[in-house]
Structure 1
Amino acid sequence: MELVKNVFVRFFKERFFDEAAQTAYYLLLSIFPFLIFILSLISFFPIDPQQILDFLKPFAPGDSFALIEDNVTNILASDKGRVLSVSLLSAFWVSSMAVQALARALNGANGIKSTLPFWKGLLRDLGVTLLFMMLVPLSLFLPFIESGLHWLVSYSGSVDAWHGWIYIWPVVRWGLGSIFLFFFFLLFYKIIPNEKLTLSEVWPGALFSAVGWQVVSLVFANYVSNVNYTRLYGQLSGIIVLVLWFYLTAVVILLSGLLIAEVRKIRRSIKRAV
């Protein structure tokens, strides 16, 4: 309990909620160029881009998903080559800003001071951004893994056995997504700070992010579905909900970073005592 208390005390005392707001702003700027780039690239292959949007649908709040889907679909209807090049440059630059904001926050959480010159730090952040832009498309294979498992189960065994699988299929889908998110966050917390962290130090934060982000997203989506934001924000309701979702996402990421920092403190104190 002391660990949890320290995490939340630091989150509010050191104003990490401000860092979360800054990160949410950069995420808002980068989401459309990034998705457009990925889906533009996918459109050159015999893959239905709608499958990718459907993968995001369970996590994004209803109004926000509709906003993302409509805008991305309309832009993709234009020239693919031009959209691909422009969205790549936009996504790369704005996403690097989000990475830099998160790096500063996670460095602060762990008491790490950057000793790199500005240009070296910028090149490092751009390199990390490029790495994650290459890794995120790996999630595109999840719908195909799900389809393969669905085919394997439906065409093997008895009908009674398949009826049993129907009830646990949502758990299988959730498990696949959770495994991908866990390894994504594991790498994220390993390389984002300007100091080498071990896998044993970062896995608690990665696990918290993987599970916490899904829980927060689903709870927020259910909340939004029962609250009429249109009355308050009018046509901006979809954007407001999207910003709130990104803010909650950033909060989970930064809380996980603080959790990693506190775990490292505990381990260092134990080593000193020994």
Structure 2
Amino acid sequence: MFGIIVAGKRVYDKFAEDEMTVYAAQVSFFIILSVVPFIMLLLTAVQMIPSISNARFMELIVGLVPVDYKSLAFRVVNDLSLKSPATMISVTAVTALWSAGRGMFSVARGLNRVNGHGEKRWYVINRLICSGYTIVFILVCILSLGLLVFGNMIQAFMVSRFPIIADVTTHIINFRALWALMILIIFFLGIYTFVPDKRLKLRDQLPGAVFSTVGWMAFSFAFSLYFSHIGGKNYSYMYGSLTAIVLLLLWLYFCMCILFFGAEINYFWKELFPGETKE
């Protein structure tokens, strides 16, 4: 037990020395900036699907967010749906990817700092690569939400169209929370392995990936409970109409801190097992 405490303190000391909270703040800021253009991009895509109206899309988006953010989400989606986003698809796509890519670029810089790697790639190349990782991140979000939120709809569709594989899809949907957990672990493994300038060995990133996945889920649950029953009113008195954005920024900030703490765990894991690590 004492050894675990000592190891945890070493990880935390390096976390503080590397100024990971600064990188976490950068990532959170740029993710917030990319939210509106990303919703615009989704609205544009929705217009190309005849079976989903803007009203239905608004209902789905508002249903996904926590209670504290529902009014903000409704206002944002409603305002954007009235701006005829179909005429802005190219600008919207570039803006969303560039803004969100800047957040992933900050993640890359933070991971380089953790592993002691310099930034050797050109800035433009880095930004393009990070924009590509952002697309992967969006796909992961869509896949996770599809399993968790639309699992029953997917199952009904598969039963009606492909009854032969209905049993298989039933088992997949029944364990969708576990599948979402596995998707998150794979996502963190990908970030820790491929985002830094110097590619690392995949299996050496597993401890941090598991820690970050469990940490994100546990913190999100605790955060929701705290602000639903204790802290929400205090923040509403202080920030007024900006409360939802402030809470979202805080949640993102601490989630990013967990991500970078997981990277520090991987760094010390390589020190404990140097013979198994090959960068």
TM-score relative to the length of structure 2: 0.78
Equivalent residue runs for 1:215-230 within 5 Å? 215-226=218-229, 227=231, 228=233, 229-230=235-236
TM-aligned CA deviation for residue 247 of structure 1: 0.8
Matching residue of 1:197:
200
Structure 1 residue 176 and structure 2 residue 179: aligned? Answer: yes
Aligned partner letter, 1:189: Y
Q: Which of 4, 7, 17 is the equivalent residue of 1:3?
A: 7
Structure 1 residue 86 and structure 2 residue 94: aligned? Answer: no
Q: Residues 140 and 183 of structure 2 are in contact (CA less than 8 Å); yes or no, is this contact kept in structure 1?
A: no
Structure 1 residue 114 and structure 2 residue 119: aligned? Answer: yes
Unpaired stretches in structure 2, ≥5 consecutive residues: 160-172
Q: After superposition, give the CA deviation of every residue in 1:31-55 in whole Å (9 maximum; x if it has no partner).
A: 2222332343134222442575267
Aligned partners of 1:5 and 1:146: how far apart in 2? 45
Aligned partners of 1:39 and 1:73: how far apart in 2? 10
Q: Which of 15, 20, 25 is the equivalent residue of 2:19?
A: 15
Change (3 A) 1:17 1:93: same
When structure 1 is superposed on structure 2, of 25-34 and 138-147 the one drifting more is 138-147
Structure 1 residue 214 and structure 2 residue 220: aligned? Answer: no
Aligned partners of 2:111 and 2:152: how far apart in 1? 34
Matching residue of 2:61:
53
Q: Residues 24 and 243 of structure 1 are in contact (CA less than 8 Å); yes or no, is this contact kept in structure 2?
A: yes
Identity %: 27
Matching residue of 2:240:
234
Matching residue of 2:270:
264
Structure of higher RCO (CA pairs closer than 8 Å, 6+ residues apart)? 1
SS at match of 2:273: helix
Aligned partners of 1:114 and 1:55: how far apart in 2? 41
SS at match of 1:37: helix
Aligned residues: 254
Matching residue of 2:164:
none
Q: After superposition, give the CA deviation of every residue in 1:150-179 in whole Å (9 maximum; x if it has no partner).
A: 8999xxxxxxxxxxxxxxxx9945323222
Matching residue of 2:131:
126
TM-aligned CA deviation for residue 137 of structure 1: 3.3
TM-aligned CA deviation for residue 102 of structure 1: 0.6
Structure 1 residue 37 and structure 2 residue 45: aligned? Answer: no
Aligned partners of 2:25 and 2:185: how far apart in 1? 23
TM-aligned CA deviation for residue 104 of structure 1: 0.5
TM-score relative to the length of structure 1: 0.79
Q: Residues 111 and 263 of structure 2 are in contact (CA less than 8 Å); yes or no, is this contact kept in structure 1?
A: yes
Change (3 A) 1:198 1:87: same
Matching residue of 1:161:
none
SS at match of 2:183: helix
Change (3 A) 1:68 1:267: farther
Unpaired stretches in structure 1, ≥5 consecutive residues: 154-169
TM-aligned CA deviation for residue 216 of structure 1: 0.9
Aligned partners of 2:268 and 2:43: how far apart in 1? 39
